[in-house]
């Protein structure tokens, strides 16, 4: 595939105004699915399961099966709607979206169409550079997820060219809330960063509500980014593309930026943007054309006759409103004070999209300083190097465990970095990795003393210097001992012991 021509970003901004629109799908972490009693793989408890084991006749769309709405999913959706500042519909309806696709068991998706459960909201989003935006929310509606296809054979991993495809219906029927923004105008050069910050904000909100695991790498949170450009001074919005498969915060930003540059290059040459779905390719950092998507796409929506309208009582809505957690912005101000972070330190955390990780790590027992240090330090470094999100590398519980191991002297910072390496590749918990890799600090003085005595014996000149009061000469011995211990010793303790042994 020919690489698309791109215009320089700043040049693109000079000629065109970017307008973005974001659709975020949130998988709810209810125990069971949206319309059946099958366990929900978006709940951490059922995350790992063999294909087609979390299914009922409803998930498979077997003849005669009927959906029943999961009340908890409705309550979660209302809470989310409220947290997004939306109106909650006194009565909302499910509708069938009809299209044939093998991952869609019934060949229609139960969604909401003209009567979503929540509408007309807005979200405050803060950017790294200090600017803040109010993103207008058009609607948030409930729907069911589809199954997963694996295309076997062929080179692309796509359905075209595959020899055969496997279907896993475990995900079929996972409860989703789709949050749709109105066109976001006026972000200008901040548009890519705003897209990322918006998704991070949604993630913070659903996490604070406790209604989703919100892990992008697992598909708990998925973003489709709509981008269009219009020439400066033009009123009418340009033709948009919808980029799918954007599976990390970082990619959201990159994908929006890429589409701005790609579209600008086409428009500048007098070309036209095709309204289409585009796929984001993480590896190349590019998008490619998917199927054309026009407003004439006919899903033959009609009210789902198997379900009654959702009519939440005023009492329920008010009860859920009263139990909403603190809004993220207010919460951030409070946490910064509580943790005693400087502006810079706190910004590091927020801009890294790591507020939730740090909060949860502290909740799991780590000190604020340790939590911040590991998330914004080593984990961010590795994540950047690998082009991933830090949150994909470790869980807050694992980082808290690591901090505890350092605190108790089992690990040094250096050893801890090796442990993190193991955590990131899924070797187990920090303690398990310490055990498996034998990484613990040697805290047995006996072993240290014998290594020290050996080192002193082999360097009599150094021993003499130390005895003469030239304490800094001890460095050479400490280095030898650390080497002998393969780094698994606490240098401060070694130093103490060296001085002690030299005098004996």
Partner 1 sequence: MSEHLIRLTAAELGARIAAGDVSSVEATRAHLDRIAAVDGAVHAFLHVEGERAIETAADLDRRRAAGEAFGPLAGVPIAIKDVLVTKGMPSTSGSRILEGWIPPYDATPVQRVRDAGLVPLGKTNMDEFAMGSSTEHSAYGPTHNPWDLERIPGGSGGGSAAAVAAFEAPIALGSDTGGSIRQPAHVTGTVGVKPTYGGVSRYGSIALASSLDQVGPVSRTVLDSALLHDIIGGYDPLDSTSIPEPWPSMAEAVRRADVSGLRIGVVKQLDSEGFQAGVRSRFHEALELLERNGAEIVEVSAPHFEYAVAAYYLIMPAEASSNLAKFDSVRFGLRVTPDGGGTVEQVMAATREAGFGPEVKRRIILGTYALSAGYYDAYYGSAQKVRTLVQRDFDAAFTTVDVLATPTAPTTAFKLGEKLDDPLAMYLNDVATIPANLAGVPGISLPVGLAPEDGLPVGIQFLAPAREDARLYNVGGALEQLLLAEWGGPLLDRAPDLSRHELFATEEGAL
Task: Write the CA distances from 49 to 34, 39, 97, 211, integer angstroms.
Answer: 18, 10, 28, 21
Report the alpha-carbon distance of residue 381 to residue 390 in Å, rounded.
8
Stretch touching partner 1 by CB under 8 A, among 99-107, 133-141, 228-236, 419-427: 99-107
The answer to the question of residue 108 lying near partner 1 (CB under 8 A) is yes
Print the SS3 string covering 481-499: HHHHCCCCCCHHHHHHHHH
Q: Are strands 16-27 and 184-185 parallel, antiparallel or unpaired?
A: antiparallel
* Interface pick for partner 1 out of 26, 80, 105, 229 (rule CB under 8 A): 105
Question: What is the token pair recorded at 456?
Answer: 């002193």
Shortest spacing between CB 299 and partner 1, in angstroms: 8
Print the SS3 string covering 372-431: HHHHHHHHHHHHHHHCCCHHHHCCHHHHHHHHHHHHCCCCCHHHHHHHHHHHHCCCCCHH
* Interface pick for partner 1 out of 11, 152, 308, 492 (rule CB under 8 A): 308
The answer to the question of residue 102 lying near partner 1 (CB under 8 A) is yes
* Interface pick for partner 1 out of 100, 272, 313, 468 (rule CB under 8 A): 100
Nearer to partner 1, 102 or 292 (CB): 102
Nearer to partner 1, 4 or 307 (CB): 307
Nearer to partner 1, 62 or 363 (CB): 62
Give CA torsion, residues 264, 267, 272, 274, to 10 deg.
0
The answer to the question of residue 450 lying near partner 1 (CB under 8 A) is no
| Longest Cα separation, the chain | 93
Q: For residues 146-165, which are near partner 1 according to CB under 8 A?
A: 159, 165
The answer to the question of residue 63 lying near partner 1 (CB under 8 A) is yes
The answer to the question of residue 107 lying near partner 1 (CB under 8 A) is yes
Nearer to partner 1, 160 or 504 (CB): 160
The answer to the question of residue 166 lying near partner 1 (CB under 8 A) is no
Nearer to partner 1, 161 or 479 (CB): 161
Shortest spacing between CB 80 and partner 1, in angstroms: 22
* Interface pick for partner 1 out of 14, 306, 337, 444 (rule CB under 8 A): 306
Binding mask 455-494 for partner 1 (x = CB under 8 A): ----------------------------------------
Stretch touching partner 1 by CB under 8 A, among 100-108, 333-341, 423-431, 438-446: 100-108
By CB under 8 A, the count of residues binding partner 1 is: 31
Nearer to partner 1, 107 or 284 (CB): 107
Burial class (CB in 10 A: 0-12, 13-18, 19+), 284: exposed
Phi, psi dihedrals of residue 240, rounded to the nearest 5°: -105, 160
The answer to the question of residue 66 lying near partner 1 (CB under 8 A) is yes
* Interface pick for partner 1 out of 57, 136, 219, 377 (rule CB under 8 A): 57
Report the alpha-carbon distance of residue 282 to residue 250 in Å, rounded.
10
Evaluate whether 425 touches 386 at the Cβ level (below 8 Å). no
Stretch touching partner 1 by CB under 8 A, among 98-106, 222-230, 247-255, 286-294: 98-106
Shortest spacing between CB 293 and partner 1, in angstroms: 14
Report the alpha-carbon distance of residue 56 to residue 35 in Å, rounded.
10
Report the alpha-carbon distance of residue 343 to residue 330 in Å, rounded.
15
Task: Write the CA distances from 313 to 81, 86, 91, 302, 317, integer angstroms.
Answer: 15, 16, 9, 25, 6
Nearer to partner 1, 50 or 100 (CB): 100
The answer to the question of residue 75 lying near partner 1 (CB under 8 A) is no
- Name 18's Cβ contacts closer than 8 Å, sequence gap at least 6: 187, 188, 191, 227, 228, 229, 256, 260
| Binding positions for partner 1, rule: CB under 8 A | 57, 60-69, 96, 98, 100, 102, 105-108, 159, 165, 167, 296, 298, 300-302, 305-308
């Amino acid at each position: 595939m020919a690489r698309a021509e791109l215009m320089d970003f700043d040049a693109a901004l000079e000629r065109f105004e970017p307008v973005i629109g974001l659709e975020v799908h949130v998988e709810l972490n209810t125990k069971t699915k949206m319309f059946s009693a099958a366990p929900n793989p978006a709940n951490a408890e059922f995350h790992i399961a063999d294909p087609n084991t979390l299914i009922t006749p409803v998930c498979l769309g077997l003849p005669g099966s009927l959906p029943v709405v999961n009340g908890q999913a409705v309550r979660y959706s209302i809470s989310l709607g409220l947290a997004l500042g939306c109106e909650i519909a006194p009565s909302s309806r499910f509708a069938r979206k009809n299209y044939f696709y093998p991952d869609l068991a019934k060949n229609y998706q139960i969604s909401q169409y003209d009567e979503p459960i929540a509408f007309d909201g807005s979200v405050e989003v803060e950017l790294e550079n200090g600017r803040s935006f109010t993103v207008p929310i058009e609607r948030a509606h409930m729907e069911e997820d589809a199954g997963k296809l694996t295309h076997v054979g062929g080179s692309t991993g796509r359905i075209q060219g595959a020899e055969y495809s496997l279907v896993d219906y475990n995900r079929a029927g996972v409860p989703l809330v789709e949050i749709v923004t109105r066109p976001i105008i006026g972000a200008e050069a901040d548009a890519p960063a705003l897209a990322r910050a918006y998704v991070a904000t949604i993630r913070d909100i659903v996490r604070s509500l406790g209604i989703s695991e919100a892990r992008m790498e697992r598909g708990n949170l998925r973003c489709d980014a709509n981008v269009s450009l219009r020439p400066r001074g033009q009123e009418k919005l340009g033709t948009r593309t919808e980029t799918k498969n954007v599976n990390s915060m970082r990619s959201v930003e990159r994908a929006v930026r890429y589409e701005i540059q790609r579209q600008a290059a086409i428009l500048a040459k007098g070309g036209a943007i095709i309204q289409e779905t585009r796929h984001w390719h993480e590896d190349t950092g590019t998008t490619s054309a998917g199927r054309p998507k026009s407003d004439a796409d006919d899903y033959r929506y009609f009210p789902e006759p198997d379900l009654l309208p959702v009519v939440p009582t005023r009492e329920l809505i008010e009860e859920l409103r009263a139990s909403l957690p603190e809004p993220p912005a207010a919460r951030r101000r409070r946490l910064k004070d509580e943790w005693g972070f400087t502006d810079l330190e706190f910004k590091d955390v927020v801009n890294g999209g790591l507020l939730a990780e740090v909060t949860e790590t502290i909740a799991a027992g780590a000190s604020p300083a340790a939590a911040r240090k590991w998330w914004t330090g080593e984990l961010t470094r590795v994540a950047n190097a690998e082009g991933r999100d830090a949150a994909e590398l470790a869980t807050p519980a694992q980082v808290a465990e690591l901090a505890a191991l350092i605190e108790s002297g089992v690990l040094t910072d250096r050893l801890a970095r090796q442990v993190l390496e193991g955590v990131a590749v899924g070797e187990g918990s920090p303690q398990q990795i310490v055990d498996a890799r034998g990484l613990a600090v040697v805290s047995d003085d006996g072993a240290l003393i014998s290594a020290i005595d050996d080192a002193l014996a082999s360097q009599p000149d150094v021993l003499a210097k130390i005895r003469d009061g030239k304490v800094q000469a001890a460095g050479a011995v400490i280095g030898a001992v650390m080497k002998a211990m393969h780094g698994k010793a606490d240098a401060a303790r070694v130093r103490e012991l060296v001085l002690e042994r030299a005098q004996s």
